[in-house]
Amino acid sequence: MAFRPSLSFQALFRLPKRPVRTSSTALQPRFPQARFASQHPFPHGTPRGRPQYNRFSRSQSIKYLWQTNMAFRYGAGAVGTGFVGFVGYNIETVPASGRRRFNWVSPEYEQQMGQQRYRQIIQEYQGEFLPEWHIASRMVQRVLKRLISANGIENQDWEVHVIDDPSQMNAFVIPGGKVFVFSGLLPICDGDDGLAAVLGHEIAHNVAHHSAENYSRLSLAIPIAYLASFIYDISGNLTFMIMDYAYNKPGSRKQESEADFIGLMMMAQSCYNPEAALGLWQRMEKAGGSAVPQFMSTHPSNYNRIAKIQQWLPQAQEKRAASECGGTIQYADEFKKAFQSREEDFW
């Protein structure tokens, strides 16, 4: 005998009949239209399409794991201990200034990076280099040779390249002793003493291994920024911007001030007049025009640079007097002043 469901069973599983749409009004919702509300019965989406409630944020989830999972605590503790140990092991002191810093990059690896950068620059400015016999190239070579010999840094393969670009007032030194000077900087230098201030500053970056420090700082900042972005569930751009203004730019400004100090001592040791550095940055401030605020820049403001150099000048003068050329400095300065006064009287 076949099974026949009872009427109540059929009524229980009977599907409702689809309503017949007789006019376009049947397509309109059967809800009164509010005056200032959305016409949709569910303005923020249907109940089925509502966002799911998230019980824990990512940081709360990590906190919950820390409180309840012993293996997670042991793992996080091991990673944190290893990180602190790695940073502490690679803390060193810059000999010339006594500043403490984090640096794990070896001088050999720094030079390898410098060679790669050197090839890129040579290719970028191909055809724009002044020849070695040019008066500008000879001037840079003369000042550089004196700085190198007086400070005992002949252990690198120093090379000079002057880029013929009068619009650029810049110079830089790549790890490995590759010196680049734009021709537009030479009029601002106003002679060998001013150029010695520039080259001393750039050589100081090389001697203090600032390129290696920058690479080490970035290798530390990038993982921290990614980790903060993951834990607090915020934009990676925001964390990188915070790290840039709170960590990278202040570190770069410290390097620039350190290079100013070391370069000033180097030019004094080389019998150049350290007061020329003061005049150089005063002329740079006039030529530079308006600048961004210091906290937004990788370099100190010219005003702060001038103030620092004024503080360091007595120490630089003492170093100059104690150098091998100390006995002839007074006669040379008197001769220069006398020659300038005779020249002014002549004109």
Q: How far apart are CA 214 and CA 248, in angstroms?
A: 8
Residue with tokens 């002043």: 337
pLDDT at 9: 42
Give the tens place of pLDDT for each residue, 207-248.
999 999 999 988 888 888 777 777 776 666 777 777 777 777
Please tell me the pTM assigned to this model: 0.72
Query: What does 107-138 look like in DSSP terms, one character per residue?
Result: HHHHHHHHHHHHHHHHHHTTT-BPPTTSHHHH
pLDDT higher than threshold 60 for residue 45: no
Which tens digits make up the pLDDT trace of 321-338? 887 775 555 545 554 555
Other CB atoms within 10 Å distance of the CB of residue 231 = 15
Q: Looking up tokens 């002679």, which residue turns up? A: 191
> Who wins on pLDDT, 12 or 73?
73
Residues tagged active-site: 202
For the cut 90, the answer to whether the pLDDT of residue 2 exceeds it is no
> Cα–Cα distance between 240 and 226 in angstroms, integer?
8
Task: Give me the mean pLDDT over the 101-119 stretch.
Answer: 92
13 or 80, which is more confident: 80
Residue 153's Cβ-side half-sphere holds a number of Cα atoms within 13 Å equal to: 19
- Residue 122 is predicted with a pLDDT of 95
Beta bridge partners of 172: 180
- Under the banding of pLDDT at 50, 70 and 90, the label for residue 192 is very high
What pLDDT is attached to residue 11? 45
Which of 198, 201, 206, 150 lies closest to 178 in space, CA to CA?
Answer: 206
